[in-house]
A and B are shown apart, each in its own frame.
Chain A
Amino acid sequence: MKTIRVREFTEFPGPRYRDLGPYSGEEFREKILVPAIKEHGGNITIDLDGTFGYGSSFLEEAFGGLIRNKSITTEQANELASHIISEEDPSLAEEVRSYLTDASSNSQEDWL
């Protein structure tokens, strides 16, 4: 199983979109997540530890965006949701799981 460590992408996860700043959720999804899913399907572990904190926009865009953009099937999303880990802050894994399993994933619009 492939393990993706977010800290290897950046220790300072950024905003939602690329045009809002560096190391965005959009960039993480397109550069790291989508290619890995194309190669391994949902059989990937995502390790969220080792960064200096996440904004929900980063998490929602990176993982909820997979569903919105149809980069992942429902089965793959469910499989991926069970392989999200964070020893430092278990609430991060919980939040990411909610974006992956929320099929509509329109939650970001409620906040605008």
Chain B
Amino acid sequence: MAEASSVSVLENLMRWLVALAGWFFAWFMWKARSKQIRKITDNTEVNKAIDTSLDKIEKLEDLVIAFWRDKDGEVVPEQLTSAISNCAFYTRQITNLQPSRPFPTKELAEVRKSATMNMEQATRGIDQQRQRIGRFVRTLAKLRRAEVYEKRPFSE
């Protein structure tokens, strides 16, 4: 009688242990999946911010080239400073989302210098500013290749 009772206790205990292990496994899987989803979401957000930043850089390129190339163009100096400020703002969004990515401090400073130094008084026009446009395009290419704009594949 006592033997049957102890078997039943053991059986119950085993059932509870199996149930607990099941719950633990389900909880563990749920946690792992949530973490993975969060990582995918973060990666998507970062990639979106990179796309936006690269788009702003492209717009900046068009604007700066038009400003310096066209002697009597319609682009005004304030558009250049504002466009560079936009690039900095959207690049900051990337580094805010993923602080391990370094802000391209030197590259952006060089871009600003080549685009805006003496923009209010220097003579515009392709003949006078060919060198500056060349320098600007080179600094911008360097900025585009900065680590912060690199898209990385999603990894577990």
User: A residues near B, CB below 8 A?
Assistant: 12-13, 15-17, 20-21, 51-57, 60, 88-92, 94-95, 98, 107-108, 111-112
> CB-CB < 8 A to A55: which residues of B?
77, 80-81, 112, 116-117, 119-120
Q: Smallest CB–CB gap between B99 and chain A, Å? A: 13
Q: What total of A-B pairs shows CB separation below 8 Å?
A: 86
Contact B112 A12 (CB under 8 A): no
Report which of A12, A51, A57, A90 forms a contact with B103, defined as CB distance below 8 A. Answer: A90
Chain B residues with Cβ under 8 A from A12's Cβ? 78
Q: Does B12 contact A (CB under 8 A)?
A: no
Contact of A91 among B80, B104, B118 (CB under 8 A): B104
Contact of B120 among A16, A60, A92, A107 (CB under 8 A): A16
Q: Of A21, A88, A111, which contacts B122 at CB under 8 A?
A: A111
Q: Shortest 9 CB-CB distances between A and B: which pairs?
A: A53-B85, A53-B81, A91-B108, A89-B88, A15-B120, A55-B116, A111-B117, A95-B109, A91-B109
